[in-house]
Structure 1
């Protein structure tokens, strides 16, 4: 069953080798350790729409790191070109905040190759679409409320089996035998994404008079700006009426402005 899971993830990520971990955070840390092993000393992450542990692990591993200015999580490639170099690793969530997609990941990957910058693509949200197919290292979580909501496990995708040896030598956790459950979740991903998309489209239509961030972008959650207590209350009441879970921003893992994130991915 493990081999079947590897095959599906290889298809989703275009990576030859799949290494499993016990959780997404372990994948993040191990990928950053591998980047250090490959000589990278400087890291870049997005200024919003990333994940909680990005900065934590960069600090623990003593990286020199910088936050990149983004358009609510999305990177401008010309701006990126001025920042990265051969000492760099770019750790990037290709579905920032689960509400939009960095659609030009192919071009970003090409730029990183040109500049000899290592690209770690966090595809926990973008898995199942084209943005998940680009990067030197692909990482993802199968945790609770993720598109692949197995509530256990993570992975790292790479092409070089020499790197696979490094991962095996530096991962010290015992893995549960979770592959049958994971296989079921992976096999159902297209259906799950399709069902979530229907809800996302409906919510965006119902709230079209509000300031929806990246409203034409492919995403799962819906994030809406508010500029008054009244609008905030209106949005909260909408969520309660439809039984949608929501979070209040600013939050690094969503956006750094006053907004409500309707957490459709939790359904």
Structure 2
């Protein structure tokens, strides 16, 4: 199992992208019991080194009382990296972006978005289906921060890749124009949930007296995470024109880091509330 993560009924394997290259560490948590006739719904979580254990715990606790929580059996797939630490920052910046950041000062390599999506669809998807009976019509992609920006990009430009999309604290500021332009390309009836924390656009009380507080406050105001996410949800709703869904939720008392745990519970519920389920 991934170092630092020990989860019952879970496994891991490394999987290389098309054409070779550095592999991804894939974490897989299987539900107990027989699959429904159409197969299990599947949730794909990006940045799995950081959050997969949290996701699995939320799913298993929720599935104990599905009538009350709205959370039931599903296959959980985490996409991470075979490296120590929560993130491989260079790889995630490359994989989750289509091009350079609109903010000045970012010099790391970008542009791997298309290749990473090919990996998700043509390599990882079949690998998961070979290991578990899955419902191809009920697949959900979840990402936080820069991974959330990737989720929004796929939602617009490749909306048929997944049925449901959950973007947690998405980095819309990276290239807002591209994400907005992508909404004109939506096909079908995908469902989108955007979730942010109350303190992502302003300085929370617990940081007010910390060194560098003024710099943090300026950056949060400039990136306007809450405002941009709310506005994007409104634009997505208009672009869908009655198809699918585009929901927005701002979680009280949470910031960019702490929002992840409660947002994953909401992601599980959202994934299982799809119209075809």
| Band the TM-score falls in, shorter-chain normalisation | 0.3 to 0.5
Q: Please, what TM-score do these two structures have when normalized by structure 1?
A: 0.33
**Larger relative contact order (CA 8 Å, sep ≥ 6):** 1
Q: Please, what TM-score do these two structures have when normalized by structure 2?
A: 0.32
